[in-house]
Structure 1
Amino acid sequence: MAERKRTSLLWGVERLLPKPADYRELPTSWPRDILAGITVGIVALPLALAFAISSGAAPEMGLITAIIAGFVAAVFGGSHVQVSGPTGAMVVILAPIAATHGMIALPIVAVMGGMIVIVAGFFRLGRTVSFIPWPVIEGFTLGIAVIIFMQQVPSALGVEPGPSLNALVAAIQSLSGVRPTDALLGLVCVAIVVASMTLLPKIHPRIPGSIIAIILVTIVVDLAGWNLARIGELPTSLPMPHAPPLDPDMLRSLIGPAFAVAALTAIESLLSARVASGMTTAGTYDGDRELVGQGLAGIASGLFGGMPATGAIARTAVSVRSGARTRVAAIVHALFLTAVVYFATDLVGRIPMVALAGVLMMTAVGMVDRRTAGDIIGTSRSDAFLFVVTALITVSFDLIWAVAIGIAIAAVFSLRAMSLNSVVHREELPGEAEPGDERIALIEFDGSLFFGIGDRILTSLDDVDEVDVVILRLSHLRFMDSSGARVLSELVKTFGRRRITVIVKGIQARHQRLTDRTGVLSSLQPDDYVIASMPDAVNQARQIVREREAERAAAAQEGAAV
């Protein structure tokens, strides 16, 4: 037994580790993988810088994260085409952490969150994303897009953000400090970015609109001599790995944020991997291994002084559309960004901040699929409500709470729908009618018998009276929980108190243990029955009715004689 457990444990660990099969297609796909890696590296460069700055971190932390986390997640993750790095969704969580604890807290929370995600992977929680409803995902995405867009408004207008930690409120507060001249210059730069990112891909889809937009804005600002804030000096090499400073008080205060980071890392990475698997024939993804890979990526990023990272849906999509087939594409993306650090930081440091703000604004707009949103709103009122509420909570309060509340509301709607589709009604007996059949009630249970409909069932069967036998037909019952079984037990007892014989017909094998443990069968009276087939149940019921009729006739004769 011990040997079997040890073998099972070893197999469980081995399946989460890299293997040669990860690169099965590399002999034929390597040219496309390299091209895709360079393409997505170009796209990732401005996003890595912009997301770091929006998180309250130094721009180099974004590059470090994209390089280290991108490489580690590519090697150890569960998707063949996933590209990881800083993301807009993570900005929503990291900005308040940096504002409260300082930039130094980001590497710490990256390590802590990474450990939590690894544990989740070993406990096989990789399929949890399948429990998040579609309207919640889209509402959560819309909320993130609004937050990212509003975070860039102060930079676009050349002012400092307001004091509020809420992006929408901070953007509104910043409007009081707008200077017309600075705002005009910023809006001109944003317009250049918008035009470039909108028009250039229409000429050819592989033209990197964001990079060209940044180059154009940098040239315009340099030639015009506009005094706009720039990225500034960047390091010319990657740092050596080192443990972040461990302050016990800070560690205690970061436990909650670390769980939030871990939850978002898991949700966004698994969503991205699932989307990517539907875009390519390069193979499906392993959710548990993806969690382990993302956890290792977060730890590695923190040890190098970076931030938490997740699988990035937009960059992964770019990579797949550029021909990526193996992990080499994501690895090349990390190597390309490494080359930028060692050979091009002087050029990158001259990029105006407003150019990155424009790129992020366009990224936020691109995150929202208007057709999908329209489909959700038009599907049903419950889906529309779920979509809107999730988006509003994301913008107003907290991203993780938005997902949790969205799932809770969806569960309530699902239970309501399940209860409405669960039917308990009286049916006619099968076959030709016989005298005395009016003294038999056949009660059909169809659908689900669970805690959400127990009271309704008991109320609906109150009027089953003036009968001798009740047949409870359970063979069509698809689901039953302990509360539903308890209701069934109460129903049997209620009929027993009315001196109505109960025949339980068709208990399914999957429900047998539950009915045994909850006392359904033990609540039966001595003259009650458990019968497997409907003909036998009906014959037994008719026999009981004949016996009761005979008893009533005999009692009537005795009464008449007296």
Structure 2
Amino acid sequence: MKLSFSGRFQGYNGKKFQKDLISGLIVGIVAIPLGMAFAIASGVKPEYGLYTTFVAGILISLFGGSKFQIGGPTGAFIPILFAIVMQYGYENLLIAGFMAGVILLFMGIFKLGGVIKFIPRPVTIGFTTGIAVTIFTGQIANFLGLHNLQKHQEFLSNMKELGIHISTINMYSVLTAVICLMLIILTPKLLPKIPGSLVGILISTVAASLFYPDKVATIGSTYGAIPNSLPSLHFPALSIEHMQSLIKPAFVIAMLGGIESLLSAVVADGMSGSRHNSNRELIGQGIANMITPLFGGIPATGAIARTATNIKSGAESPFSGVIHGIVVLLVLFLFAPYASNIPLASMAPILMVVAWNMSERKEFAHVIKTKTAESFVLLITFLLTVLTDLTTAVEVGLVLSGIIFVKHMSDLLITAKVLPDPSDKNEKVAAHMVNEQHYCPQISIYTFEGALFFGVAAMFEKSIMDEIHYKPKVLILRMGNVPYMDTTGESNLSSIVKHFNKHGGTVIISELQNQPSQMLKKTRLDEFIGLEHFFEKTGDAVSFALTKLNHSQCLGCKHFAFRECRQLSTREIK
């Protein structure tokens, strides 16, 4: 996988740099409150979110596969990272993030970028909406200013904590949160070019500091002052024991990071008319997540909202993402002490709005209204994401989707006994031509439509084996509408052929498509059947089958299944 920069900066000039500078500045300002909010919600210190935004943001832009991707901490990671911190601790979160980076890197090197896209939409909508619910409800305590709550991994336990401590509500926190929320909602309508989250957090912080100081919990009072410097380079203490215990959370981080980054890249393609390289994007994500933990940063991925803001702000190249990271670094150096005064109640509405925007509520309602099996998959994935964890939800969602897919595909397989239709100009075979008076005791023709795979192979074999009971002399299998055959389908076909040969019959196959043909060649079943028994046209297969008949059995036959039957019925045996 080459990481050349050719094409991404082709024709780059000073005018384009000015656009990147403006867009990078805007996105950097947007990313600052989000980075801190995501870190706090994930159970770590706010500065770790800023470190992630700076380091991962620059690396993803430089090494990723999308020209406009903005990387950093995202809302989708919050429940996962919080659970890891609760169970394993912050230091082990860094190790899991590093391991996730390695997994993403190898996924890109081995060109698995396209595989992630095959995750069914109901599963992604289900877990995304579930994550949004978890984020939203997780900020209720900060919004209301509740205190002395114990944090739990389980959703229901956290909801119980809210109920127990609802009496500790702090009206100053509520007022601060409402001010921030109203400004987040109104600013885009009144001043569309100014980030609402930044306006909300600044004004609500100033209001709290001036009118009711020390009445609400702040970043400084809860987590300590934010240092205005990067931490020293620190390599995680990797060991076999650590890797074994953290492989599952690392895999979850890698999977969600890959999904989110590629979804974001697809959104960027749609908005900009560009085209991303999915495998290179995974490599970029892998590099970023391997290096970010060395600076104390948490796992990162492509951020859809910030990427969209980047494009809307006029970005021309990945330099805008690099500039966005530099802006965050400069703000960290210059204004970090002031950030310690931000109330937690000001951070809560930011995350609630993020949750609301990422919830995919319209798509969720649309799928539910269809009342199909996919609706069931969506609902189960959603509930499991909220009530258990993302790993369980995705695993169950994928299994259910696979079962439903197999069921749908098996319903699509059509097996029909057919005969030529004399009224058709080309004498095409048709099922309506077969009845009790019109059939051939010696030749049976079956046509199949649909993929011949493990989900339908048994049904395919049974329908033919029932025919073998009547012991026709020749069996013609018309497979022109079978686009795919797996090893199970091949095994069942082999079983049919062997049974038929055992009874002295002949199997003929017509109109076989390329993939099934290659499968039969690989297993050498085509040689066992006999290469002379394969025909491109069913008409030629019928002509060949007629040469294999017991002509004495044809004498006096009145079924007249084929146009040659009248002559065969009256022909004298020599």
| TM-fit CA distance, 1:551 | 8.4
Counterpart position of 2:562 = none
Q: CA deviation at 1:74?
A: 0.9
Aligned with residue 9 of structure 2, among 23, 43, 47: 23
My pick for the range that moved more, 529-538 or 331-340, is: 529-538
> In 2, distance between residues paired with 1:248 and 1:541?
65
Q: Could you tell me which residue of structure 1 aligns to residue 63 of structure 2? A: 76
Distance in 1 (alpha carbons) for counterparts of 2:269 and 2:161: 42
In the alignment, what sits opposite 1:473?
478
Distance (Å, rounded) in 2 between the aligned partners of 1:377 and 1:319:
33
**TM-score normalised by structure 2 residue count:** 0.87
Give, in whole Å, the separation in 1 of the partners of 2:61 and 2:88: 30
Structure 1 equivalent of residue 510 of structure 2: 505
Secondary structure at 1:470's aligned position in 2?
A: strand
Deviation at 1:380, TM superposition (A): 5.2
Q: Is the 8 A contact 1:85 1:310 kept in 2?
A: yes
Does structure 2 retain, via aligned residues, the 8 Å contact 1:496–1:525?
no
Q: Please state how far the C-alpha of 1:86 moved relative to its aligned partner.
A: 0.9
- Would the aligned equivalents of 2:465 and 2:496 in 1 still touch at CA under 8 Å? no
Q: Which residue among 460, 463, 467 is the counterpart of 1:457? A: 460
The match for 2:448 among 442, 445, 450 is 445
Give CA deviations for 1:288-320 in whole Å, capped at 9, x if unaligned.
Answer: 111111111112211112111111112112212
Cα drift, residue 351 of structure 1: 0.5
Task: Specify the alignment match of 1:303 in structure 2.
Answer: 294
1:40 aligns with 2:31: no
Whole-Å separation in 2 of the counterparts to 1:305 and 1:498: 73
Equivalent residue for 2:349, pick from 328, 344, 358 = 358
- Specify the alignment match of 2:154 in structure 1: 166
TM-superposed deviation, 1:374: 2.7
- The alignment covers a number of residue pairs equal to 536
CA separation of 1:252 and 1:476: change in aligned 2, threshold 3 A = closer
Please give the residue correspondences for 1:87-102 in structure 2 after superposition, counting only pairs within 5 Å: 87-102=74-89
Cα deviation 1:174-231 (Å, max 9, x = unaligned):
331233551x332222222222222221224323111111112112212222511111
1: CA distance between counterparts of 2:187 and 2:403?
A: 46
TM-score by length of 1: 0.89
Q: Does the 8 Å contact 1:486/1:519 carry over to 2?
A: no
For the residue of structure 1 that corresponds to 2:210, the secondary structure is helix
Quickly say closer, same or farther: Cα 1:287–1:548, change in 2 above 3 A.
Answer: farther
Quote the Cα distance in structure 2 between the aligned partners of 1:196 and 1:246: 45
Residues 1:436 and 1:95: Cα distance change in structure 2 (over 3 Å) = closer
Give the stretch that moved more between structures: 514-523 or 407-416.
514-523
Q: Which residue of the partner structure matches residue 571 of structure 2?
A: none
Q: Give the one of 214, 219, 228 matched to 1:231.
A: 219
- Pair 1:466–1:256, CA change in 2 (3 A): closer
The reply to whether residue 256 of structure 1 matches residue 260 of structure 2 is no
Which piece of structure 1 moves more, 340-349 or 540-549? Answer: 540-549
Q: Counterparts of 1:62 and 1:363 in 2: how far apart (Å)? A: 16
Correspondence for 2:306: 315
Give 1:541's aligned amino acid. A
**Which residues of 2 match residues 148-547 of structure 1 at below 5 A?**
148-158=135-145, 159-182=147-170, 184-226=171-213, 227-232=215-220, 233-246=225-238, 249-281=241-273, 283-379=274-370, 381-431=372-422, 438-439=440-441, 440-464=443-467, 465=470, 467-497=472-502, 499-518=504-523, 520-521=525-526, 524=529, 529-545=533-549, 547=551
1:78: Cα distance to partner?
A: 0.9
Structure-2 change in CA distance of 1:181 and 1:480 (3 Å)? closer
Post-superposition Cα deviations, 1:341-383, rounded to whole Å, max 9, x if no partner, equal 1111122111101111111011101112332223322345122
Aligned partners of 2:260 and 2:303 also within 8 Å = yes
- Between 409-418 and 172-181, report the one with greater CA deviation: 172-181
Secondary structure, aligned partner of 2:21? helix
Query: Structure 1: which 5+ runs fail to align?
Result: 1-11, 554-562
After superposition, the Cα gap between the structure-2 partners of 1:292 and 1:444, relative to the gap in structure 1 and judged at 3 Å, is same
Change (3 A) 1:308 1:466: closer
1:557: which partner in 2?
none
Q: Name the CA shift for 1:251/1:130 in 2 (closer, same or farther; >3 Å).
A: closer
Aligned AA (1:123): F
User: How far apart are the structure 1 equivalents of 2:464 and 2:247?
Assistant: 52
1:75-124 deviation line (CA, Å, top 9, x unaligned): 11111111111111222221122222322223322222212221221111
Q: Give the Cα–Cα distance (whole angstroms) in 2 for the partners of residues 290 and 471 of structure 1.
A: 50
Deviation at 1:437, TM superposition (A): 5.4
Separation of aligned partners in 2, 1:323 and 1:248 = 47
* Matching residue's letter, 2:495: E
Could you say which residue in structure 2 is the equivalent of 1:63?
50
Q: Contact 1:57–1:103 (CA<8 Å) still a contact in 2? A: yes
- Contact preservation (8 Å) 1:474, 1:506: yes
Residues 50-75 of structure 1, C-alpha deviations (whole Å, 9 max, x = no match)? 11111121111111110011111111
Distance 1:235 1:108, change over 3 A: same
**CA distance in 1: counterparts of 2:344 and 2:151, whole angstroms:** 20
Deviation at 1:421?
A: 1.0
Following the alignment from structure 2 to structure 1, what is the Cα–Cα distance between the partners of residues 136 and 148? 15
Task: Give the secondary-structure state (helix, strand or coil) at the position aligned to 2:113.
Answer: coil
Instruction: Name 1:559's counterpart in structure 2.
Output: none
User: Given that residues 149 and 165 in structure 2 are in contact (C-alpha distance below 8 angstroms), is that contact kept between their aligned partners in structure 1?
Assistant: no
Post-superposition Cα deviations, 1:507-551, rounded to whole Å, max 9, x if no partner, equal 33432342245464466599x944343222222333434625268
Change (3 A) 1:167 1:44: farther
Amino acid at match of 1:409: L
Question: In structure 2, what is the Cα distance between the partners aligned to 1:294 and 1:88?
Answer: 17
In structure 2, do the counterparts of structure 1 residues 351 and 259 end up closer, same or farther at CA, with 3 Å as the change threshold? same
Task: After TM superposition, list the pairs within 5 Å mapping 1:86-165 onto structure 2.
Answer: 86-158=73-145, 159-165=147-153
Structure 2 gap ranges (5+): 428-432, 558-574
C-alpha change, 1:240 and 1:385, in structure 2 (3 Å) is: same
Q: For the structure 1 residues 216 and 168, does the alpha-carbon distance in structure 2 shift closer, same or farther, using more than 3 Å as the test?
A: farther
Q: Contact 2:109–2:283 at 8 Å: present in 1 too?
A: yes
Query: For residues 249 and 109 of structure 1, what CA distance do their matches in structure 2 show?
Result: 12
Q: Which residue of 1 aligns with 2:567?
A: none
In 1, are the aligned partners of 2:483 and 2:513 still within 8 Å (CA)? no
Q: Supply the AA of the counterpart residue of 1:450.
A: F
Whichever residue aligns with residue 171 of structure 1, its letter is M
